[in-house]
Each structure stands twice: as structure tokens, then as C-alpha cells.
Amino acid sequence: MSEFGTLESRVRRKSLLSKVMKAADTVPMFKSGQNLLWSGFTPAGYPKEVPIALAEHVEANKLQGKLKFNLFIGASVGAETEDRWAVNDMIDRRWPYQTGKNIAAGINAGRIRMGDKHLGLFAQDASYGFYTENGRYDIGIIEVSAITEDCGLALTTSCGIVAEALHLCDKIIIEVNTGQPSFEGMHDIHMQQKPPHRAPFLITAADTRIGTPYVPCDPDKIVAIVESKRRDKGRAFAEEDDTSEAIAGHIMEFFQHEIKMGRLPENLLPLQSGVGSIANAVIGGLAKGPFRNLSVYTEVLQDTMLDFFDGGNLLCASSCSLSLSETPGFPRFFDNWEKYFSKITLRPLSISNAPEPIRRLGCIAMNTPVEFDIYAHANSTLVGGTRMINGLGGSGDFLRNGYIKLMHSPSVRPSKTDPHGITCVVPKAPHIDHTEHDLDVLVTEQGLADLRGLCPRDRAKKIIEKCAHPEYKPILTDYFEMAKKETLAKGVGHEPQLFDRAFKMQLNLAKNGTMKIKNWDIKIDLCE
């Protein structure tokens, strides 16, 4: 017996106990080419036993590339599942967001056909049946904490797209996780109707609840119950450093100024923070700040959100996922269960990222791009305009609809040969996920550029002045002045660009390992 209860105690609809089996016993249910729907969202709440059993089956029988599936998940899941599947060439199509070096390699080598989408829209469109030929999924594999007497599913550490798309699954396999406490009661599940019958989301505060703790499920579709004791392999985060602390400092000064100007209340407005180490570190810096009685309405809760709670300045948090690190995040959460549990609400992705509550609550959106250009177009997905990293995620849901839309990034990143070889402020982003229409504020450790009310040329001056690294500031200034002079002379200078040299810094990086160019002369191909 687990210290967290038995399978029998968690499955309260007793007729389902006749469907209990080992994960390996489910393998014959799977056929190559099937469309699979998983629970999970940013390594949290995903199935583990069945995907691992399938990977072991492929490895034992040398079926790499012969047993392949189309995989639809709310966002990324643990590397021990989808990244292992990528190693075994088990993924044909993958929507809409992933993490792991092997799955990324498969996508960029063309072995895996990935589609990207704003996560809030993906959740909605998945429920409409947009992503498969017949609008359905062959098998859904869902991790839960418990199953109620009337077959309501109490999910675990995330909601993902389970509530939106479970009804489209022909068969369902349930993994009941008894290796951790039950999360029953943390979720707020609201089942939506399709247009034109959708009703408003009556969420007026981050902790407003509008649904029930359970996802309804047809018991006749459940073909297997598998017990799991595996915990989430949450992502590890880099420690706060001088760069992230400086970024957080600039953001806090900005918030204080907005309060002084009467544009923000003293307890701010609900905060949204994106995924990853930089976002996590920035929240850690804000947790040390002077603001009190705060709330969070976001899609992912990371480790430093616990610092916010512990400091007494965060009252409540709404999210789609509890995406903590495997250590120390989850152990810290479990050790302080009573402190955190009642303050957190987990919602389906189509609600956590819906424009309606984001705009009504006035969320302050804070996300990290790969880079942004001097006119405030941001690239969040494709390095060099072609190499997929993870995916768009939900940043656009919040950046399009928030009260203040902010992106933060280091001003530079190291290349293989130069510690400052890559500038995150470029003349033109080689791929654009968020346009200048969506962004209000850009921040690096160098400073903060408030772009509200500025025309493109004034934005460029402000971004170069406030955000660019000193080693790149004169290079970017030279480009801007040259582009401005040439385009204004031709009467086409609203947003000056010179397309014969706008990407010269990226070309120099590819050839010489640094974005530091000596000049913008188009007669010289590249600078050594």
C-alpha cells in the first residue's frame, strides 16, 4: 500500500476495477498510424506507464520507425516519454508544443511533422475536431488522481486539453497515480458548448471558480485502468543570476512608476509569466519586491511561485499546470501541502488562456522570446528563422490580450566562440511570432523600453538605447540611421528596413560565430 492510498481507494467507481491491468497488457491495443490524445502540460500531469511500456515494446522488438503515432498533447510532457519516443522514431505528427533535444532534432530533420499553434486556440480547435481526418482520436491516455462514483476524473498536476477533447476519444486508458497525494479538489473544470451556444466565462478574479473539480468521462469508453507511481519529471531551472535580477529590478521600477501614475493599483493586476528559466528567475526577483496582496492568472506555475506564496505577498494563483521541477520543486510542494493546495486553481487550457478572462482581469503578461528586433517584433520559436526549439506556447494568448504586454530577455547570449556572440536585439527578426502591435514593453538587463504611444522610428531609438548590449549598440545604431536615411529619401520610411542587409548579423553568426559585424557595406559579403 502506498502512503497516499491504494488503487482501490482512488477508483470509486468499482465496476472499473475489472479493467485493471499492467501497462504492458495495453500494448496490443495500439496500431501504427493511430491518433493519440494524452493528458499533460509542460512536464506535468502526463501519462507515464503506458508510453514507457510502448517504448520498451518497440525497443525489445526492433520496431523503430515501424510503430508510429500522431501525438496530440496540451503542451510538452516528460522526456522519459515523448523524447524517448522520438529516439525510437515513434512519432509521425506532433501538436502543438514539445521539449526535449531528441524530439526537436526529429522535427528539424523532417522525421516528425510538427504543427505549432497558440495553445489557447489549439485547445479550442482540438475540441472542434480540427486536427484529425475524422475529427476523432483513437485512444486517449489520461493520468488522474481519482475516479468518482459517477466516473468523474480528478486530474493530477495539470488540466491540458483533457476537458476539451476527451469526448472525441474512441477508447480511453486511465493511469491512476497513487505515487503522490491526490489533487482532487484543485481543478475547476468548465465544460463548454460549441458555437453558437458558448456562454461567457464568469471569471472576475483569479480565484473565481465556475465549474466542478472533475472531467466527465463515459465509463464505456474506458478500456484499461493502469496504476502508476511515477512522478512528473519536471524541468530543472537555472538559478537566478545577475542578468535575471537586473531584469526583475527594471520591471519592479516600471511597476512602481505605473502605480505612481495611477495606471496600476498598489497590488498590481493579475500576473502572467511564461515558461523557462528566465521567466522563473524573474518571478523569483519579483517575489522579493515590495508588492503585496498579489494574484496570478497564468498558464504555468513554476518553482519561484512558491517563493511568492512563502513570502506572504501572493494570495492566489490560477493556472493550467503546476509545472514544478522534479527537485526541489515538487518535494517542497508536497512537504507544504496545506499551505499551497487551497490557494491554487488549475483550469482547462481553453479557459486559462482564453482572451475573455485575460482582458477582463487585466493580466500583466510577461514572456521570454528568442530575440526581438528594433521595431518590437518578437521571435519565440525558430532560431535563425528555421530551427524549431519548443513551440509558440501560450505567450501570444496573453500578449495579444493583456493589460500590459511585456517581454524580457538577456541582451546577449554566448555563441560557441564568443561570450557575447549573439545579440537578442536585431535589425529584423528572421521569424515573427508577436508583432509590434502586441507588445508594450521590452526589457533586458541593460534597461526597459516603454514603447506605448511611439511610432516605429521612435521605438527603434528607444529599444537600441535601453535594451541593446553596449557592444552591439553602435552596430544597431549605424544600421538604423542608414536605413532611415535611405528609406525616408524614397518616401518609404515609416518603418525603415534595408532588406539587402537586414540579416547580415545572422549570416555572420553562421559563418564566423559572432553577430559582431565591422560594417554594413553590401559589397563585402561578411566580416571576419
Helices (H), 322-394: 329-335, 337-341, 349-352, 355-361
One-letter amino acid at 509 equals L
- Pick from 487, 469, 381: which is nearest to 426 by CA? 469
Active site residue 299: yes
DSSP per residue, 165-200: HGGGEEEEEEEEE-SS---TTSB-B-PPPPTTS---
Backbone angles phi, psi at 374, to 5 degrees: -70, -5
Catalytic residue among 164, 299, 445, 495: 299
Round to whole Å and give the CA distance between 412 and 70. 37
- Pick from 132, 140, 191, 197: which is nearest to 163 by CA? 191
Which residues does 32 contact at the CB level (< 8 Å), separation at least 6?
66, 67, 68, 69
Quick one: cell of 352? 486559462
* Omega before 414 within 30 of 0, i.e. cis: no
CA distances from 459 to 119, 260, 501 (A): 29, 23, 20
Round to whole Å and give the CA distance between 524 and 528. 10
What positions carry a catalytic annotation?
Answer: 299
